[in-house]
Amino acid sequence: MPIVRLEGVTKFYKYERKKRMAVQDIDLTIEQGEFVFLNGSSGAGKSTVLRLLGGDIWPDKGTAFLDNTNMSHLFGPWQIRLRRTFGIVWQEPRLIRKLNIYDNLLQTAKAGGLRNKSPQAVAKALALVGMQHVEKCFPAELSLSDIRHVELARALVCSPPILLLDELTANLEDDSIWDIFHLLMELNSKGITVVMVTHASRYVNIMRRRVVTLVDGHLAGDVHNGRYAQTVNQPPTVIKALKGKR
């Protein structure tokens, strides 16, 4: 089963012709079957780390590995391996408005190389998240909660062993958030790795899973059975600062 690993990873972005550091010197290994919360204030580098883990972007320094393979070396047909390894939900909804839900997922299944098995994969993914009744609907017809469930179904359509989730529960009501967390725990219990960026501190504290905390692009904490924004050396001050920036 796949292990994803960042070794000495640094990533810069260009902003107004200047380089801005997003993350620096990140060492992080995610074992298969883990449930990991990625915490930090806005701009701390959480989404960047998620994109690096999924091979969506390459580091400027250091290496991102899938098992022992440098992901930046995966071109052409090997890109299909990435699509089928990672199920990703980004912070901004990416469903195509002109396609109904079934066709949105079908497109993802075909891009993942499922071909003739695509219809069955779409039906299974929608059933997993309890959304089989919306396959003929268009995104504009659904509530935000339903949209997020559908996006999770799309991430699951190729049966990936790793889920990367960027603020999946943002702006949802408590009942919807609990529903999604219960679903994620069930998926994790079946061996699926879950790496989740979230500001939902209450739920992180209740679940007590592995908590990785970023501060200004640096890894400030990596705690098993942790609490929100927990670090190893100075938990009270860092937690207070991070909560104040949410």
SS3 per residue for 48-109: HHHHHHCCCCCCCEEEEEECCEEHHHCCCCHHHHHHHHEEEECCCCCCCCCCCHHHHHHHHH
Assign 12 to helix, strand or coil.
strand
Find the mean pLDDT for residues 198-202: 90
Six-digit token pair at 217?
């692009």
Cα–Cα distance measured from residue 240 to residue 244, given in angstroms and rounded to the nearest whole number: 6
Gap between the terminal Cα atoms of the chain: 35
pLDDT at 239: 47
pTM, to two decimals: 0.90
Find the mean pLDDT for residues 35-39: 96
β-strands 69-70, 61-66 pairing: antiparallel
Find the mean pLDDT for residues 211-238: 81
pLDDT at 232: 64
The per-residue pLDDT of the chain, averaged, comes to 90
No. of helices (H) and no. of strands (E), the chain: 8, 10
Find the mean pLDDT for residues 155-162: 96
Cα–Cα distance measured from residue 183 to residue 179, given in angstroms and rounded to the nearest whole number: 6
Six-digit token pair at 68?
């022992």
**DSSP symbols for 182-222:** HHHHHHHHTT-EEEEE---HHHHHHH--EEEEEETTEEEEE
Six-digit token pair at 167?
């603020």
pLDDT at 231: 75
Find the mean pLDDT for residues 190-201: 94
β-strands 193-197, 35-39 pairing: parallel
Return the minimum-mean-pLDDT range out of 21-25, 118-122, 188-192, 228-232: 228-232
Are 204 and 211 in contact, with CB atoms under 8 Å apart?
Answer: yes
pLDDT at 78: 65
Q: Is the pLDDT of residue 157 over 60?
A: yes
Note the pLDDT tens digit of each residue in 78-117: 667 777 899 999 988 889 999 999 999 999 999 888 888 9
Find the mean pLDDT for residues 164-170: 95
CATH for 4-244, among 3.40.50.300, 3.20.130.10, 3.30.930.10, 3.50.50.60?
Answer: 3.40.50.300
Six-digit token pair at 241?
């600062």
pLDDT at 235: 46
Are 228 and 201 in contact, with CB atoms under 8 Å apart?
Answer: yes
Q: Torsions phi, psi of 59, nearest 5? A: -70, 150
